[in-house]
Amino acid sequence: MRLRNVPGADAYLTAHPLVIKNETRYRGTWKETFQNPENPIHIEIGMGKGQFLLTLAKENPSINYIGIERYSSVLLRALERFDNDEEYKDVNNIRFICMDATNLPEVFAVGEIDKIYLNFSDPWPKARHAKRRLTSKQFFERYDKILAFDGVVEFKTDNRELFDFSLEQVELAGWVLLAKTYDLHNDPTLSRGNVMTEYEEKFSGQGHPIHKLIAMRQ
């Protein structure tokens, strides 16, 4: 996937106080970084323009959130939303990292993360790229290294092929499927309290059903 470079994005991220630089130095000390070590930490991998995670951070001040985005030009948009929207002016339980998710075990220690959100991830449609999908067995192995004992992964997508692939990978990885739906917005249980992403609003508005699964280790 090729994204347009945004001039000044890297400088903006470097100067921003909530964007973590040299993130591997924080491994094992993330709770102390938030200065409230009793609170759980949830991360979103591929946070896009930030609507989902910023909403959660605002609504749940007793949970710490870390947004992970690979592309500086995309993370820039999330930061601009955070900095310029008055509704987030009192939100202080969120941090941001610009990094590739393949490096998760180098950034977070064993058991340090309580929940992982994956929303509308890149489907990497070519078969030879399957291991790059964030719901591949290879990535579940990475999640295994950072999740707490009872930690969970929540995944949403409108891509049926990717969702079916993900269900298969949950089983292959030896994880347990706690819940699934092929039509989230019409599911009386899983739709309760659902926070939509930008993509979710767009795709559901076009009539695409949204799929969701929740998985944890055995």
Q: List, as residue ranges, the binding site.
A: 44, 69, 100, 122, 126, 158, 197-200
Q: List, as residue ranges, the binding site for substrate.
A: 126, 158, 197-200
Q: List, as residue ranges, the binding site for S-adenosyl-L-methionine.
A: 44, 69, 100, 122
Active-site residue among 10, 83, 122, 144?
122
Catalytic residue at 114? no
User: SS in 3 state form for the chain?
Assistant: CCCCCCCCHHHHHHHCCCECCCHHHHCCCHHHHCCCCCCCEEEEECCCCCHHHHHHHHHCCCCEEEEEECCHHHHHHHHHHHHHCHHHCCCCCEEEEECCHHHHHHHCCCCCEEEEEEECCCCCCCHHHHHHCCCCHHHHHHHHCCEEEEEEEEEEECCHHHHHHHHHHHHHCCEEEEEEECCHHHCCCCCCCCCCCHHHHHHHHCCCCCEEEEEEEC
- 202 Cβ neighbours under 8 A, 6+ residues apart: none
Please give the positions annotated as active site: 122
